[in-house]
Amino acid sequence: MKTYIIILSSILILSLFTQCGSAQKFDNETPFNISKAYYQDWVGGKPGSNGIIITIEIPSIISNEIILDSVFFRRKMSKLSIEASDQKQIATANFSKNIFTARDIIMNSDPRKEMANKAPDVTITFPFELTDSECVISYFVKNKKHYYKLTNIKKTKTIYYP
């Protein structure tokens, strides 16, 4: 009887730990069509101002029950912005790599005066293992979050802003 309880409790504990380590599940298909997905570098007129824009073209207007949320790409996450035109929607996400950031840092021998300094940004753990040509779209269907992985995203020409 004691052996039976030990085996049963071991199975229960193992099943609990296997659920903790499971990765995000991707949907095999989306409730909306994607006609084209591509990314392009952009360079701004200000030194150090650059980034990547991901564009996802949806050939029809999607239902109000579906809300496009975010894109995960190259270990970063960005919210999607949606534009509708001529019975299609275009979703874009901007990943800025702005290396020029003016920060006012207070340096003083009195530590109380340095308390006004902003704490550095902490990198969060990225939930997906992706190659450089893959991204993950998150979206909601009836308030339930879903993930879809896009592969072989093509790079197009760089945009140069004045």
Q: What percent of the chain has pLDDT over 90?
A: 4
pLDDT at 22: 42
pLDDT at 157: 92
Rounded mean pLDDT of 2-29?
A: 59
pLDDT at 21: 41
Average pLDDT for the chain = 78
Domains and CATH numbers, the chain: 25-160 (2.60.40)
- Count, residues in the chain: 162
pLDDT at 80: 87
* Tokens coding 6: 């030990």
| Burial classification of residue 148, based on how many CB atoms lie within 10 Å of its CB (0-12 exposed, 13-18 middle, 19 or more buried) | middle
133 SS3 class: coil
Residue 55 CA to residue 40 CA, distance in Å, equals 8
155 SS3 class: strand
Rounded mean pLDDT of 100-127?
A: 71
* Tokens coding 8: 């049963």
pTM listed for this prediction: 0.68
Residue 125 CA to residue 139 CA, distance in Å, equals 20
Q: What is the DSSP letter of 112?
A: H
pLDDT at 8: 52
Q: What dihedral angle (degrees, nearest 10) is formed by the CA atoms of 58, 63, 65, 67?
A: 20
**Span 47-105, pLDDT tens digits:** 778 888 898 888 887 777 888 888 888 888 888 888 887 788 888 888 887 665 556 67
* Tokens coding 77: 């996450």
pLDDT at 11: 61
* Tokens coding 100: 């020029």
Rounded mean pLDDT of 33-41?
A: 88
* Tokens coding 48: 């150090």
pLDDT at 19: 43
| pLDDT score of 20 more than 50 | no
Residue 29 CA to residue 139 CA, distance in Å, equals 12
